[in-house]
Amino acid sequence: MKSLAILSLVFLPLISIGDREQIRAFHEAWVAAGFDVELQSEAILSLKGADSDEVVRILVKILGAKEIPFSVEDAITEVLGTLKSEPAVRRLAKEVRSHSRWQARVIIAKALRLLRNPLALEGLHKGLKHPRWAVRSAVVGAIGATRSKDSIEVLIKQLKKEDGRVAGEIHKALRRITGKNMAHLEEWQTWWKWAKEKFEVPPTKTSKPRPVVDPGNTVTKSIYGEVISKKLIFVIDISESMKVVLTDGPDRGLSRMQIMKRELTRAVLWALPEKAEFNVIAYATDVLPWKKELVESTQKNRDAACAWVERLERSGETNVMAALDVALSEKDIDTIYFLSDGSPSIGRITNVQEILNDVRKQNGARNVVINTIALLGGDGKLYKLVEAKPMARSFLKDLASQNEGTFTAFE
């Protein structure tokens, strides 16, 4: 990052006096920050309020660095997400389709998702051609947030080319724009053929979407919710506290371990499409992957995974960091389902905020979704276990929200 310490001021005379002074102050703060990531982030945040394409030029140049601390990425996203001037937005639109680093395109798309400015749509639409799913995923999110009629046909055409997670996100974007709850590509095509002439984007409202059942997507009614990814890992807790038995509700008399096995084998693994690739990672004190890498969801592999899960026995503590390390080391995944019944108790890192920071650093622009499930039913006190359920719930909720995932509590 030090190579970026001095940025050109040659274009400053072309912008307003107020922006010019603010950008000069940023340059001074950036140079003074050196390698201090916290000070670098503060310097970037000082640009909030300056609304010119020079701000985009500066921050996009920083995004060209090989490695960028996640806090700096967050600061850049926050500042870019406040720009309103036409030159600034048009420059962002150009960068989202042409920046040399795909990681930078992901960050720019996330900023455009905050902006929701129709001026960026041309660049976003062209960004859908990128070969990396992480870029296309981020671009789809920005298009959906912008809610323009001009995007509907573009998304429907793109839906024909996608499957798995990106296809599911296109469905969500179309629902967000149109207010319609179509579940199949053919439904969208037929509806748009008859509606496009007179259609107007409705006011934003909250509606309960229908499950996606397009080819390549899977729907399950379980604590895992809707499974749309075709490259995913299920991470399951088998620590000693999973012995806790529920004392009320429909699952009364079942242990957390029994519930986990039932939900994973019956509701998720059996429902995976054959063209999906998946793995299962169990963790307690140590981490135990089912396979060394993703495998195809053939009937044979699904049967083998179910049998392996059924044989698992509980033991040890809760090494959350190690489990996440192993899951994120798989380069081909786009989604992780992370189940736990408690807070971290052992491992490389046990402080929950430090774990969140570490995951952000590892995940970054990869854009891997982390969905979390808190399996908190039962009373650990009956087993002489000390449980911090509020902390576990808060941690798993933050882990999901910071990584574009959903949080589910089973209590």
Above pLDDT 90, what percent of the chain? 63
Q: pLDDT tens across 283-311, in order?
A: 999 999 999 999 998 888 988 999 999 99
The CA radius of gyration of the chain, in Å to the nearest whole number, is 23
Which one, of 164, 156, 256, 149, lies nearest residue 201 by Cα? 149
Residue 366 DSSP symbol: G
Rounded CA-CA distance 341/377 in Å is: 8
179 conformational bin, left if phi > 0, alpha if psi -120 to 50, beta if neither: left
88 beta partners:
none
Instruction: State phi, psi for 82 to the nearest 5 degrees.
Output: -110, -5
Which one, of 258, 299, 302, lies nearest residue 279 by Cα? 302
Q: pLDDT tens across 1-40, in order?
A: 444 444 444 444 455 656 788 888 999 999 999 889 999 9
pLDDT at 279: 95
Is 407:401 a contact under the CB 8 Å cutoff? yes
Token output for 213: 């059942």
CATH number of 218-410: 3.40.50.410
Kindly report the average pLDDT of the chain as a whole number: 87
For the packed helices 37-45 and 70-80, what is the interaxial angle rounded to 10 degrees?
0
Q: Dihedral of the CA atoms 84, 86, 91, 96 (nearest 10)?
A: 60
pLDDT at 218 over 60: no
Token output for 361: 């650093």
CB atoms within 10 A of CB 228: 28
pLDDT at 220 over 60: no
Rounded CA-CA distance 128/148 in Å is: 16
Domain map (residue ranges) of the chain? 2-146, 218-410
Q: Give the amino acid at 382.
A: L
Burial zone of 125 (CB within 10 Å; 0-12 exposed, 13-18 middle, 19+ buried): buried
pLDDT at 99 over 90: yes
Of the given ranges (142-146, 169-173, 218-222), which has the lowest mean pLDDT?
218-222
pLDDT at 143: 97
